[in-house]
Structure 1
Amino acid sequence: MDLLFLGLVGVATGVTTVLFGFGGGFVTVPVIMWVDADLGESAAAVAVATSSVVMVVNAGVATSATRRVVLRHLLGAKHLCALLAVGGAVGALLAGWAPAPLIHWGFVAYLGATLADVVLRPGFLRQSASEVPTGEGLPIRSSLGVPIGALASFLGVGGSVMTVPLLRRGGMPMAVATPLANPLTFAISLPALVVFLLASPDPPGAGTVGLIDLRSAMVLLVTAIPVIVLLRRRPPPVGDTVHAAAYVGLLLLMTIVAMGAGLR
């Protein structure tokens, strides 16, 4: 039953990677917490580490299939990507030492804060066509790279929960903001993955490599990658306002799931 459940979640992460730029991170963290609950205090760290594998692969596949006209916005963002990577490594190191409740409830708190932000502040759910930038570049300051990367890898959210709202408020439509979140997630998750591979859970779990639940990661990836490839080739026609509203709805759903995992 665990494998079937993980397979269904893998399909869901494939969909969220393409439609919302999530890479699977904040979807997989509460699920892995449920699956690996027998690890006790290590469950939260293992969930964050396992999500880094899913995010690296999913974000890499999604980025490779993204239109070049969209990826052109990354020109000039080398400093931002480098600082995101530094932050990703720092956050992963901290996650290996942090107590499980801090990671778990920090995850819940961040999703809740993001949910409130995108609903209550103007500029996310609705956007006028005149606000959409026509040039290249990203509306995210390089100085935010380290804090975004560190918080993302520490909580396992991959960065998209932070970068999509920032890109959106910078004037980008969801059809541009969400695919751009994938390469930014990759920049954060790759160094974090290296750190997690060198760590070890206490107590050690069966089938773990470093802090990574290898079995769960493989099931999630095998079911997610075909979905990513299919949806990148044939993206569903979704209006910008509906797309933004669906992003908010998914945030709400995963906040509830994560809270439930913590009360288990």
Structure 2
Amino acid sequence: MADLLDPKNDFVFKRIFGSEENKDVLLAFLNRTFAESGEAPLTEIVLLNPYTDKDAPLDKQSIFDIWARTTEGKLINVEMQLFNKYDIEKRTLFYWSKRYSSQLQEGQSYTELKKCVTINILNYSFIANNRYHNIFHLREDETGLELTDDIEVHFMELSKLNEESISLEGGLINWLLFLKGADKANWEVLKMNEPTLKKAMDTLEFLSQDHEARRKYEERQKYLHDEASMIQWATEKGMAEGIEKGIEKGMAEGEKKKAIEIALNMLKMGLDTSVIAAASGLSEAQITDLRNRS
């Protein structure tokens, strides 16, 4: 049997959780997630961007996040992050705000706005505590009084889990251990009280044996690793140049031309403005101007 594909690969993740035929898998995962934030279970969801064969691993237009809506109109975004792109908290709020504001059509009242939930599954540690699942809302500092329930952000950090964490009672942790890549010998225990998890496992096994799925997976893996290498290079280069030269003093014309060339190449890769600015020495305003003109 072929080696199992990595379910953390966002292409595979969307095939398992974001396809119409596996909508029950996503629903079960979301209900385990929301149980930890004290919310009532969902009975139905609508996929807003279900996986299709048009989702090409190297196409920048393909969206490997999962967008869903509940019957009450609540919007949910689930995103898998293999590598640390930095500024994840700002990136999260930026995309949350775009989803939230996009609900209103011209002339509609603010009362039409529905709750937006962002779920980030991270393959690295981000929050300075030992909790693998952290949930954020908008509350008053002293009293904990909630200003609005419309914003909810989840961070799930797979790096904080190990296979000793398997829960015989089931729950979100078993889903996350599956995503982390738990030894197949432990699958029976993981799905013992998570019957829908078996369908996720069956889907992963099917994809792992499908030649075309494996080809697309490997293309996506290469793209993701190249992107991670570029981010690491950009960060290290940006730090070195910042120390040695001092970006605030400006650059000679030749250096500026080179910086613009670097920035344009990185824009094509879809990297964040802050990362490009650190690598090239250009300001974020200059990067934004290049993005608008390219």
Fold match, TM over 0.5? no
Scaled by the length of structure 1, what TM-score is found?
A: 0.29
Q: Which has the higher contact order (CA 8 A, sep 6+)?
A: 1
| Bigger proportion of residues as helix | 1
Scaled by the length of structure 2, what TM-score is found?
A: 0.27
Higher Rg: 2
